Structure 1
């Protein structure tokens, strides 16, 4: 809320005053405590910033009551005008309103230092919640080209290992369109779903460092690099590798626990 529009701050502070200092807010004080508890919990656990977003209406509504009852008429009008104009100014930071090139030219300065705190730090042109709208089909096309490089025998044994759930879900979505092998990942719920029928004999990976893969496979060849100009930095310049000759015995399930990544 604050990172997208700093003019929300007076209303948020007023909301805390409403719940903890005003008689009118006493009956609803549990909402104020709910916000504080959630804020502390998410801060301590290093949760994603947007987890707290549904709790902000508690403060905005309480702050609006204070604004209506206690602020002078001229201050209320001035604040509403400032909030409205700044909302229009910062709306493209929250919604896909502009062509990508226009956004890059006019707003990328606000995202260059990790999107100014608006959502997760992206280090790219767009905040993550906008940057993650780009490049998924192109990623699937890149993996399809890598798959086609394999001999037919290896192609039949191949699986794709994605470095995170976003990549894995996107590649699964486009799997039928581009005739991709099964897609797996060690990230979050994908880890719980396991490697399925993937033996690990032939593994195509995206976004994994070759030095890490060389710990488990004797042959690790980088065959392509996925590029996405408008994606967040973590989804640009990703190595695409083909791993063969596994060092582990048995199937991929034997090393699955070492591929776990929750976050």
Structure 2
């Protein structure tokens, strides 16, 4: 019973922060990344709904003709998983990502003509697209620092078709 709140998100977020501090959970984390107020297990996932809501708002603001060919490209598998888990409720297409297993699945038939990205920097995207426009930023309050202040860009005019760019987008982390 004592470990249940440390393994499952059953407490309200403020209580989870206090409970984790009481048991000194921050001393144990699987990756070497800066932590926020929540232990990494929860901090990596906290804010997924916020991310997807922000992405959906950007997606819904696209002209109707741009929505069906639009890919949602996430920098890492966590951001892609957020879209795949919460996205259907917002009528979002499945995410693509070059990270880990997602990289093996490829661009899923997308050309790259219209791409909403999450987590990438503008300079990374300018290497692949001629048109890169910042559409939003996401900053969930309890997310780990690397998942906070995430930019969402709309990219157009790819310098090459997405399948040709894919080998450069793939990475293991």
Name the TM tier (shorter chain): 0.7 to 0.9
Corresponding residue of 2:30:
119
Contact kept, 8 Å, 1:218 with 1:247, in 2: the verdict is yes
Structure 1 distance, partners of 2:144, 2:81, is: 17
5 Å-filtered alignment, 1:170-185, equals 170-185=82-97
State whether residues 119 and 127 of structure 1, in contact with CA within 8 Å, keep that contact through their aligned partners in structure 2: no
1:102 matches 2:12: no
| 1:132 has 2:44 as partner | yes
Q: Is residue 2:118 matched to residue 1:216? A: no
TM-superposed deviation, 1:233: 1.5
Contact 2:20-2:39 within 8 A present in 1 as well: no
Change in Cα spacing, 1:211 to 1:99, as seen in structure 2 (3 Å) is same
**Partner residue of 2:79?**
167
Residues 188/152 of structure 1: CA separation in 2 closer, same or farther (3 Å cut)? same
Cα root mean square deviation, aligned: 2.4
Instruction: Determine which structure has greater relative contact order: mean sequence separation of CA pairs < 8 Å that are 6+ residues apart, divided by chain length.
Output: 2
Name the counterpart of 1:149: 61
3-state secondary structure, aligned to 1:174: helix
Alignment check: 8 A CA contact 1:207 1:239 kept: yes
From the two aligned structures, give the one with the greater helix fraction. 1
Q: Deviations over 1:101-141 (max 9, x none)?
A: 13435755957xxx334322342111211223422222211
Displacement after TM superposition at 1:173 (Å): 2.1
Which residue does the alignment assign to 2:171?
261
Q: How high is the TM-score relative to the length of structure 1?
A: 0.58
Distance 2:67 2:39 in 1: 37
TM-score by length of 2: 0.86
Are the aligned partners of 1:202 and 1:243 in contact in 2 as well (CA < 8 Å)?
yes
Q: Write the distance in 1 (CA, Å) between the matches of 2:122 and 2:89.
A: 28
Residue 148 of structure 1 and its aligned partner are, at CA, apart by: 1.4
Aligned residues: 171
In 2, the alpha carbon distance for the partners of 1:220 and 1:182 equals: 21
Alignment deviations for residues 231-263 of structure 1 (CA, whole Å, 9 cap, x no partner): 211211100000011122xx2011100001112
Question: Computing the radius of gyration over CA atoms, which structure comes out larger, 1 or 2?
Answer: 1
Contact preservation (8 Å) 1:221, 1:243? yes
**Hey, what's the Cα distance between the residues in 2 that align with 1:105 and 1:150?**
41
Taking the TM superposition and a 5 Å limit, the aligned residue runs for 1:59-74 are: none
